Structure 1
């Protein structure tokens, strides 16, 4: 039986914390809708109506661009092991960049990952569940982010990561600014 509520129940929080990955979906008022898988130890439930998650550098920065245009965000969690369940968390988010005053406060909630690029604070306005029986049961073989992505950003160093951002993370696929730097980079 599906549930619809405006906050996370304790069982939802436990379910979220047990998941090895989640998905984030955002969209600007125009252009493409984006959905991305996220992993690592990168999400914290702060309360029954607030989630914070850390975004690592990647080949694009759609979520940041979308949130600057329209704060709507949906997080989806799927049970890949155990009882079937899909949990969706809807709300409005804001993006925090490393240059922002509240970066240190929020970044301190997470491990110190080279390549950390954005933090999102999601204020929850709706939570829904669905059966999830269409999701296959799977086991995690290896966490590639820990063995491939994080060491790669470590090797780049801070200057290399910022150069990567300048090349890959300043604009969305639709040309929207991501705000990764205080001023647009040409």
Structure 2
């Protein structure tokens, strides 16, 4: 089995992360991998906002403010939202940047490309020796968070990628399907 195939088959998410996080050079490599994602129409319908250790509190404030924009949240929930980014030394906000009504690449294909680019970032992080995991959750769909992050009308958050040095074992992979369960010939 090739080294690359082995890497892909044994990819894991690492929910416990500590410093260090990727350097600027390593981030450039990770985002170069994103650019290599399949992209019908060559639209590059993705953007990324990086919040490093010096900016995690800013992201936490955005999370808290997104909940405050709605009524009914107790202080405990607001505090939890504010502290979410501190689970890792870096959080990358993955953004789908769509070109509406494109004649060759419908919105769904653009979203898929953005997701593939995001997954390329995760794989590149792991290839560089870092751990990563993709979280979405309700915050990703809050209009007030998109506004705080200054997203454009044609942009939406597709996930928060937590990145850092693994601190412990990867998340247990309890998949119920095998490769034989998901494909057939003809």
Judge same fold: TM > 0.5, yes or no: no
Which structure features the higher share of helix residues?
2
Larger Rg: 2
Q: TM-score, normalised by structure 1?
A: 0.32
Q: What TM-score, normalized by structure 2, do the two folds share?
A: 0.32
Larger proportion of strand? 1
